[in-house]
Structure 1
């Protein structure tokens, strides 16, 4: 901002500050006018109240693992939540945990497991990400096939609104029908509606049944889709059902010395209940898969490799765009075929990682120049829309997918839905200071141009 020193202004409010450039996982630039490190809710209120009066954009930073440019900004006040990182309460009777937003997800689950509980959603960045960022983005992960995304696990929130007011929305109850569901309006809002300061998560006891980890090499992509389809038809609900294609396996072997078997149809990673083992064996045998039952130690290694797959792929290319589409499970094979056709047409590497059990595919576009990938990126999203799916299952919209979001909503829901979303943003954030120019606002503007 011209005319005054933002860092000086924040220091006069007795706030810890710094000034530096950052970037997220995909190298979207973050060039704030000042970075503020609040330790209390009251300090956040000071920042937000100041920004609202001065009409200065605010962006909230968790751990910077965004894949859509959701935290990119220039000249904003960046609120870094790393010091608001306390677990405030673990309630083992009412089955919830209350935390501040800066808590690391892996650390939180470690503490919950010591009490016999866990919070199921596990994005691949679980060892890096903050729970506040995961909530703001409604992140998913490998257990999504059985447990869903963070949207399914948030009971209540405390939020500093763009006007500087503090509200608590929701209740730490499994049943609550008092009013509109504002809690889940804020979950997945990508920092555009307020600053989350406390979260009540639903937790559940660790599974009591014995879980069997399996690694399955598949002879073809058709057979891979066939296995997943038959698992669904059989009524089996895996704890985890993941997929890595042959290019991902090759990359992990080269960059992380993984020692994984490379096969044309890629590899399925399954975690199932012991009662389902024989049925799964029969399905895999039908599709000529090669099944290996893993020890606990081997499972931990494979799980870690799957979590690091995107990091290995990024290391193998100069530029990377991570896609995140969802299709009906019945359309998986159609989607995979269309993705492979695009890969050949554009002559690029586009290895696929997938939460395949719920139809969530992550094609990773690898190449030398990012601009070349933008047309391909949009065509991948168009595949999802065409097949009755969504352009994002867990990564969100940010600045990257606003055009595709506008297309999807217009085709599947009608433009009125996007208008309602835009009005909600205007009501809650009348001065447009919370992560402006992204998500719903930008998608709406895209729709107006078309």
Structure 2
């Protein structure tokens, strides 16, 4: 195979990689395309040889979405050009290997802004974030990548290139194929170009607040009161005391503990006094942060998972969403699971939109999958989702299937699997994961129950 890749003019290495939570990719080769033409050549080669092909952005995946053995891993790092920033039609056209943090640096020079900000924004690539429909701290106001992708160029498993969507804010022509590929985790094709919606840098004055709270229960109550009051924050984030300890230990954060952690808020100036009054009702006297203090707290929050991982022998990063109205119940049930399994489960959360990241810390991994699935099922039972932004990969396929069949019905899972078969009939695009795996698990369980 190496000789054939050379004949195709493709750069490659042979190496084993791991994602952020140590899911392993052991490929036949890691290939580095530099153009869409390179991707087409590689896909045609993989299809002819029936070799699975898995795109790789920056390796910040958390669910095994890039895990594979005997695949071709497609590292998109060299397709990293910002092709166009349109200041009239308000879009940025970029290649998938563009670093998200650098994109916003370039946009800010022109007075523009791309809101989605995954915690790994300083590491992750646009292509990976689109394929995963990543979220972030500003998601409570601006949503996830799904709301900000206008159009895509994608190489299909047939080697054909399609463009879906239009670089327009309004477009009602045909089925919405853009959002079929956004969040598809590389299972339908390889993204080679992205049109992202951008907006002018917001000019309204924002007030940053930090509150040291007594418990996660009280945080849930504060957020529910905030929503009832009609306050839409730009950011509403939470980290508990154990995360604070990790930040202090590994990043010299110098944060104080309060017994319940930190609530970090950024609201429009006219809402700031009402927000402080809500906090006071819950016994929290919030501190107002200046710009420098805010940037530091924002950076620490972004690095919370890294700090926590550095302090843990084994860490399983959960990602669930519950209706905000059921946050209190979700929090109590998480604490029940901690006691049931006698594990530590420190919480990092985009608390403002009900997106919780309980981090399961274990010395031994034998109960990991069981605990992980119970946390996900908790969300499903409360009318939520098994993932808000981290995706599914191999880790959550089973519980995703349970969510879809219980909330929407088995037919919906069948339709999703039919889409995979239609677009990737040879099943070479990141196979054995996501919808495909969820469907197979569901079928296997049906056969077992009927036998």
TM-score by length of 1: 0.98
Query: Which of residues 111, 114, 117 in structure 2 aligns to 1:116?
Result: 111
Q: Quote the offset at 1:220 in angstroms.
A: 2.5
Report deviation, 1:222. 2.6
Unaligned residue ranges in structure 1 (runs of 5+): 1-5
Confirm or deny that 1:153 pairs with 2:154: no
Q: 1:138-177 alignment to 2 at 5 Å?
A: 138-177=133-172
Task: Give the one of 407, 425, 441 matched to 1:430.
Answer: 425
Partner residue in 1 for 2:38: 43
Contact 1:31 1:74 in 2 (8 A): yes
Matched, 1:8 2:3: yes
- Partners of 2:240 and 2:405 lie apart in 1 by 32
Measure the CA separation in 2 of the matches of 1:246 and 1:386: 27
CA contact (8 A) 1:154 1:200 kept: yes
Give the Cα–Cα distance (whole angstroms) in 2 for the partners of residues 290 and 194 of structure 1.
Answer: 50
3-state secondary structure, aligned to 1:290: coil
Deviations 1:105-160 (A, max 9, x none): 00000000111111100000000000000000000000000000000000000000
Structure 2 residue aligned with 1:182: 177
Contact residue 330 and residue 378 of structure 2 kept, 8 A: yes
Distance 1:383 1:215 in 2: 29
Which of the numbers 358, 365, 387 marks the counterpart of 1:363? Answer: 358
RMSD: 0.8
- What SS does the corresponding residue of 1:370 show, helix, strand or coil? coil
- 1:394 is aligned to 2:394: no
The 10-residue stretch of structure 1 (361-370 or 183-192) with the greater mean CA deviation from structure 2: 361-370
Distance 2:191 2:364 in 1: 36
Determine the C-alpha separation between the residues in 1 that align with 2:366 and 2:98. Answer: 36
SS at match of 1:215: strand
Return 49-58 or 147-156, whichever deviates more: 49-58
Q: Which residue of 2 aligns with 1:60?
A: 55
Equivalent in the alignment of 2:124:
129
Task: Specify which of 413, 424, 445 is matched with residue 440 of structure 2.
Answer: 445
Cα separation, 1, equivalents of 2:115 and 2:39: 29
**Shift in Å at residue 8 of structure 1?**
1.9
Taking the aligned partners of 1:315 and 1:383, their CA distance within structure 2 comes to 27
Show the 5 A alignment for 1:236-255.
236-255=231-250
Partner deviation per Cα, 1:279-338 (whole Å, 9 max, x = no partner): 011101111012111111111111111011101111111111000000000100100110
Listed as ranges, the matches of 1:1-400 within 5 Å are 6-400=1-395
Q: Is the 8 A contact 2:208 2:265 kept in 1?
A: yes
Deviates more, 1:410-419 or 1:221-230: 221-230
- Report the CA distance between 1:217 and its aligned residue: 0.8
Say whether 1:417 aligns with 2:412. Answer: yes
Q: Which 4+ residue blocks in structure 1 deviate beyond 4 angstroms?
A: none
Q: Work out the CA distance in 2 between the residues paired with 1:80 and 1:131.
A: 13
CA distance in structure 1 between the partners assigned to 2:302 and 2:138 by the alignment:
12
1:369 is displaced (CA, Å) by 2.2
Select between 183-192 and 239-248 the one with higher mean Cα deviation.
Answer: 239-248
The residue matched to 2:110 in structure 1 has which SS? coil
Q: Is the 8 A contact 2:320 2:355 kept in 1?
A: yes
User: Aligned partners of 1:222 and 1:430: how far apart in 2?
Assistant: 48
Deviation (angstroms), 1:223: 1.8
How far did residue 53 of structure 1 move? 1.4
The Cα shift of 1:255 comes to 1.9
Once residues 290 and 417 of structure 1 are traced to their aligned partners in structure 2, the CA distance between those partners, rounded to angstroms, is 48
**Could you tell me which residue of structure 2 aligns to residue 3 of structure 1?**
none
Contact 1:7–1:19 (8 Å) recurs in 2: no
> Structure 1: how far apart are the matches of 2:144 and 2:277?
30
The C-alpha deviation readout for 1:395-440, integer Å capped at 9, x for no partner, is 0000000110111111100010000000000000010000000000
| Cα distance in 1 between the residues matched to 2:261 and 2:328 | 14
Q: Deviations over 1:159-209 (max 9, x none)?
A: 001100001100000010110000000000000000000000000111111
Contact 1:192 / 1:425 at 8 angstroms: preserved in 2?
yes
Alpha carbons 2:276, 2:285 under 8 Å: kept: no
Report if aligned partners of 1:7, 1:18 keep a CA contact under 8 Å in 2: no
